[in-house]
């Protein structure tokens, strides 16, 4: 019934259920805050009309700071929801003690032939880790969120498609839509058979992939980028039809982010040609990767 409801109808029961789910997540040690049906923080910033804009992360003591509002204190959670009567769900802050939650967001994109579940399994084989049984949330669009926990002192950054196409990571400063939340696209729910689990520790090899590499040592010269670039070229060469463009674009983005995009452009183009893309298509994808990853220039 909720799956088909319009945005206009937000009944009391939905709000009450959202609060109940949020309280139960908090009981398990997960810091929560209210979300609207668009998955955005339900409370408006108390600084929304201040000029110039304020960079406040809640130090002012007022609610309305998004993920910075998240708390495990039941009285504070009730107060947040009381101030946000239109909340239909709740967010869970990632990266915070005690669990230091890491969300692996596996998108299902059938139109682009992206199979992020297969991509994660491929990474697991390649880097010799197993994906542990853990709490899994099914999203209304057919995707899934795997909940993992991180060790203390190792902040995991948020990233989009850095691990592989279609895999986003929610870490420090990010949040996950909690199970039981209702959005305009439908309800988030726990995957059958995972509700009784506790979030499993993130495998070490996966954690290494999720944390930024240490700054390269000056004496290491150009050896490391060349090796890394070779992996990207292989990744493009192994693409099936339907993944060719996304893989090429993804690989080119990584190469430009690491500062050797221009050096690798020809090798990436050759690899793309071997999968059946035309040179024009390949060059266009690489050029747009270069544009997207270029450091923002201030006018």
* Residues contributing to the site for Zn ion (CB under 5 A): 56, 60
The least CB distance from residue 43 to Zn ion, in Å, is 11
- Comparing CB distances to Zn ion, the nearer of 20 and 60 is 60
- Comparing CB distances to Zn ion, the nearer of 56 and 273 is 56
CB-side neighbour CA atoms (13 Å) of 165: 23
- Comparing CB distances to Zn ion, the nearer of 57 and 222 is 57
Nearest to 146 by CA among 83, 190, 185: 190
Q: CA–CA separation, 46 vs 48, rounded Å?
A: 6
- Comparing CB distances to Zn ion, the nearer of 84 and 286 is 84
- Comparing CB distances to Zn ion, the nearer of 40 and 60 is 60
**Bridge-based pairing state of the strands 186-187 and 32-35:** unpaired
**Bridge-based pairing state of the strands 200-201 and 32-35:** unpaired
- Comparing CB distances to Zn ion, the nearer of 56 and 76 is 56
The least CB distance from residue 34 to Zn ion, in Å, is 17
What are the C-alpha distances in Å from 85 to residues 63, 206, 261? Answer: 14, 39, 49
The least CB distance from residue 26 to Zn ion, in Å, is 22
The least CB distance from residue 39 to Zn ion, in Å, is 22
The least CB distance from residue 66 to Zn ion, in Å, is 11
- Comparing CB distances to Zn ion, the nearer of 43 and 137 is 43
The least CB distance from residue 69 to Zn ion, in Å, is 10
The least CB distance from residue 83 to Zn ion, in Å, is 14
């Amino acid at each position: 019934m909720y799956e088909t409801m319009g945005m206009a109808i937000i009944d009391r029961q939905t709000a009450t259920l959202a609060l109940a789910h949020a309280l139960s997540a908090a009981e398990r040690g997960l810091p929560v805050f209210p979300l609207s049906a668009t998955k955005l923080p339900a409370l408006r910033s108390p600084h929304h009309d201040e000029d110039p804009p304020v960079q406040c992360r809640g130090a002012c003591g007022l609610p309305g700071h998004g993920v910075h509002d998240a708390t495990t204190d039941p009285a504070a959670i009730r107060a947040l929801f009381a101030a946000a009567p239109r909340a239909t769900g709740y967010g869970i802050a990632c990266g915070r003690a005690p669990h230091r939650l890491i969300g692996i967001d596996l998108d299902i994109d059938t139109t682009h032939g992206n199979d992020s579940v297969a991509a994660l399994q491929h990474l697991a084989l390649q880097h010799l880790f197993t994906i542990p049984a853990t709490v899994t949330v099914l999203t209304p669009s057919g995707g899934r969120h795997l909940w993992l926990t991180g060790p203390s002192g190792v902040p995991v950054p948020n990233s989009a498609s850095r691990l592989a196409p279609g895999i986003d990571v929610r870490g420090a400063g990010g949040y996950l839509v909690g199970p039981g939340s209702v959005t305009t696209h439908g309800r988030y729910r726990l995957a059958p058979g995972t509700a009784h689990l506790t979030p499993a520790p993130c495998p070490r090899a996966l954690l290494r992939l999720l944390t930024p590499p240490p700054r390269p040592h000056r004496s290491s010269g150009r050896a490391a980028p060349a090796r890394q670039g070779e992996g990207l070229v292989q990744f493009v060469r192994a693409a099936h039809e339907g993944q060719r463009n996304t893989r090429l674009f993804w690989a080119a983005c990584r190469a430009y982010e690491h500062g050797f995009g221009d050096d690798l452009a020809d090798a990436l183009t050759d690899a793309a040609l071997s999968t059946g893309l035309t040179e024009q298509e390949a060059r266009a994808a690489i050029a747009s990767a270069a544009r997207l990853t270029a450091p923002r220039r201030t006018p």
